[in-house]
């Protein structure tokens, strides 16, 4: 049996065929390749968004800190590899994934800094993200590699694969 997963809310609300009067069954579940593409897109959006907490003190507003108003991760652009606290960043990425990506089963998200950071003109930090993706009949284990370009502040999902349980 092939694993199927429900598309994101955005994908379910987007009408790709407005001329058709009835929604197709295909919009209710996603193939593995479509799901991987959507997860990759959505995680790139999340990791490339600077959270509100970076520009406003939210300590008096704990509910705002955990809401979509604070969607994103800490700003990294302009920093040097040696100046980034990898453990703190690992925890911030893990928290953002747990708060804002409900398709990943919260207790399964694991973010690991990779030792092959790139110095010199590129200045990038690399992380491995592993998690289980909610799917039917069983969760899918996904593994991806992220590259944080500290010069531009851009974050790229460099690789992704899925394994069945």
Of 58-67, 96-105, 150-159, minimum mean pLDDT range: 150-159
* Distance of alpha carbon 116 from alpha carbon 105, whole angstroms: 27
**Residue 154 counted as domain residue:** yes
Place of tokens 């990506």: 101
Q: Which pLDDT band, with edges at 50, 70 and 90, does 1 fall under?
A: very low
How high is the pLDDT of residue 5? 60
Task: Please report, rounded to a whole number, the percentage of residues in the chain having pLDDT higher than 70.
Answer: 78
Tokens found for residue 35: 């799901």
**Residue 1 counted as domain residue:** no
How high is the pLDDT of residue 77? 83
| Domain count along the chain | 1
**Residue 108 counted as domain residue:** yes
**Residue 32 counted as domain residue:** yes
Give tens-digit pLDDT for 133-154. Answer: 888 788 889 999 999 988 888 9
Q: Which domain holds residue 49?
A: 9-15+24-164
**Residue 85 counted as domain residue:** yes
Give tens-digit pLDDT for 25-73. Answer: 555 556 777 888 888 999 999 999 999 999 999 999 999 999 999 999 9
Half-sphere exposure of 68 (CA within 13 A, CB side): 3
**Residue 3 counted as domain residue:** no
**Residue 92 counted as domain residue:** yes
For 145-150, the CB contacts below 8 A with 24+ separation are 145/114, 146/47, 146/93, 148/47, 148/76, 148/89, 148/124, 149/122, 149/123, 149/124, 150/76, 150/77, 150/78, 150/79, 150/80, 150/81, 150/84, 150/123, 150/124, 150/125
**Residue 4 counted as domain residue:** no
Q: In this structure, are residues 139 and 165 in contact, taking their beta carbons and an 8 Å threshold?
A: yes
CATH number of the domain within which 159 lies: 3.10.450
């Amino acid at each position: 049996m092939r694993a199927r997963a429900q598309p994101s809310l955005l994908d379910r609300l987007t009408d790709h065929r407005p001329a058709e009067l009835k929604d197709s069954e295909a919009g209710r579940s996603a193939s593995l390749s479509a799901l991987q593409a959507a997860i990759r897109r959505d995680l790139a959006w999340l990791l490339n968004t600077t959270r509100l907490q970076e520009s406003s003190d939210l300590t008096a507003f704990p509910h705002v800190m955990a809401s979509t108003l604070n969607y994103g991760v800490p700003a990294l652009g302009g920093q040097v590899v040696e100046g980034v606290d990898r453990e703190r960043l690992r925890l911030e990425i893990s928290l953002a994934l747990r708060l804002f990506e409900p398709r990943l089963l919260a207790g399964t998200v694991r973010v690991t800094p990779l030792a092959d950071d790139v110095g010199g003109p590129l200045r990038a930090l690399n992380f491995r993200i592993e998690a289980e993706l909610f799917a039917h009949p069983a969760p899918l284990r996904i593994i991806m590699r992220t590259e944080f370009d500290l010069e531009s502040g851009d974050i790229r999902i460099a690789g992704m694969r899925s394994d069945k349980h």
